[in-house]
Chains A and B, each alone.
Chain A
């Protein structure tokens, strides 16, 4: 790592749902420009953690800092305005809209026109729309789905929908991208394409927190891996360290198995 400037800091974050401790005292840092992967068995709390960072619900206790500023408990739209973007585990695109409109929504918080300007279609409002369309088309181009721009979003393939979701989340130029299983449901070749896209994003200066089940994908692109189990952070390190970590192996293979293989 050539840098140690912290972008995001989680400090003793807890999340309790009724009696269930979904996240228990998790702390970690994300440094600018790195790809960090969050792994763990089903129910380990990976998606819950993403939901906490993106403001879907507030943590029960603990704090989340972005560039040292407290963003704990902010609403999702405020987090989005702080330039943290995310995708969802099951693809969440707006199916009744076109591909282009989906990406335009990704630009929503960067545009200014409100109700009055929208009703009157002032020249400034039209110019803003035009610029946004150009920008959205560029983004679609970048992800190789520009030819689908006018298609309804539910009529394109799963891999294209995943690309669309990534395009929609990065079009506004976020500094941190939270990816929730971007390769789920894709075949090996498609997964490799997604991996290439993610690495391309990092080269554009994005920091990425990647929740992923596909260990090949994680090991090939992550700089650092954080392992969760039952809401606890059980390990953190390079992919190689994590692969050898007995706790992680135990969590994945079950308690009766020996860590030595």
Chain B
């Protein structure tokens, strides 16, 4: 029971921080960064469920992110479809695509999913560039209508801040629940030892495929929200580099630790912005910081910091474990 209480306390703490931040943070630019953190955070959340719990790596989450963004854009801007039902339908569609992609690849033990998703990402990217009539090609897709809540349009960075972070918090909470349930336990078991998980009665194939579809749906949701928020999208955002970036966020923050994933998403989204001032050295410094994080905290920043802190406390109390 204390575990559940701890989860609630931390979660309410996060919600409090999210609620208070706009009082401190003024100006569209900072809000923009925070909003992108929420969007990346959503993608990372789903990816962390896949990598950290089912032990499967996807290098194609940019594609699912992009499918969400482009389909929402195409249907709402070109065919005047209502944004919210479109967003939902696109999420389901993306999940089905991931499901179909997952069935043949996840049936095999090992890391076939990496190759399949990598190829998938390249194909989706090419489609975005080539299908000019629908996607606008390499120059991008402009004029995506904003979202609305009933009669109220969601406009400006602050509105989107509330919307995006509400979505993030809600999905984050559902994911925390999932991890702390029969399904979460089964996924961790698959990560540790697929054969034994299977012998325990876990239908490992099914679980892997479903969590892959779920994580793709998260990315699709993030993509749709991204498109409506910025009103302009271009293929560049959805190339392999973004797929690698979100995997990096998971790894740096803490594989299998959803809070760590949020930390990773926040740090790696904000870092390039902070480093802008360094001009030519920005990329170099970014690389050095990434390497440092992985060398000193190979299990991820958050789990690493927690361990460091509890070790220190134990040393202070004179407890040796």
Give A contacts to B, CB under 8 Å: 54, 56, 75-77, 80-81, 86, 88, 92, 94-97, 101, 104-106, 108-109, 111, 113-115, 117-121, 125, 128-129, 132, 168, 172
Contacts and interface: CB of A to CB of B under 8 A. Distances in A.
B188 A94 contact: yes
B142 interface: no
A76 B198 contact: yes
B184 A108 contact: no
Contacts of B214: 115
Interface string B192-232: 11011111111110000010001000000000000000000
Contact of A108 (B174, B178, B201): B201
A254 B175 CA distance: 60
A219 B193 CA distance: 34
B181 A109 contact: no
B195 A119 contact: no
B98 to A, nearest CB: 14
A106 B76 CA distance: 48
Given A94-B192, A105-B189, 6 more contacts: A77-B198, A77-B202, A104-B182, A115-B210, A125-B182, A168-B200
B186 interface: yes
Given A94-B189, A95-B192, A97-B188, A115 B183 contact: yes
Given A104-B185, A118-B184, A92 B193 contact: yes
A119 B174 contact: yes
22 contacts: A56-B195, A77-B202, A77-B203, A77-B204, A80-B199, A80-B200, A94-B188, A95-B192, A97-B185, A105-B202, A108-B182, A108-B185, A108-B186, A108-B202, A113-B181, A115-B214, A118-B177, A118-B183, A119-B174, A119-B181, A125-B181, A172-B201
Interface of B: 174-175, 177-178, 181-186, 188-189, 192-193, 195-204, 210, 214
A121 B202 contact: no
B199 A76 contact: yes
Given A115-B183, A118-B184, A94 B178 contact: no
A62 B92 CA distance: 44
B200 A109 contact: yes
Given A54-B199, A81-B201, A96 B192 contact: yes
A129 B181 contact: yes
A119 B199 CA distance: 25
B200 A114 contact: no
A109 B178 CA distance: 17
Contacts of A128: 182
A115 B178 contact: yes
Nearest to A118: B181
Contacts of A75: 198, 203
Contacts of A106: 200
Contacts of B183: 113-115, 118
B181, B189, B195, B203 interface centre (most CB from chain A within 10 Å): B181
Across the A-B interface, the 10 shortest Cβ-Cβ residue pairs: A109-B201, A118-B181, A80-B201, A76-B198, A119-B174, A118-B183, A92-B196, A119-B178, A121-B177, A118-B178
B53 to A, nearest CB: 11
A205 B271 CA distance: 62
Nearest to B181: A118
Contacts of A94: 188-189, 192-193, 196
Nearest to A87: B199
A120 B177 CA distance: 7
A10 B197 CA distance: 25
Contacts of B175: 119
A98 to B, nearest CB: 10
Contacts of A81: 201
A97 B214 CA distance: 24
Contacts of A76: 195, 198-199
Contacts of B181: 113, 117-119, 121, 125, 129
Nearest to A83: B201
Contacts of B204: 77
B178, B182, B186 interface centre (most CB from chain A within 10 Å): B182
B201 A97 contact: no
B182 A118 contact: yes
A86 B197 CA distance: 12
A123 B214 CA distance: 23
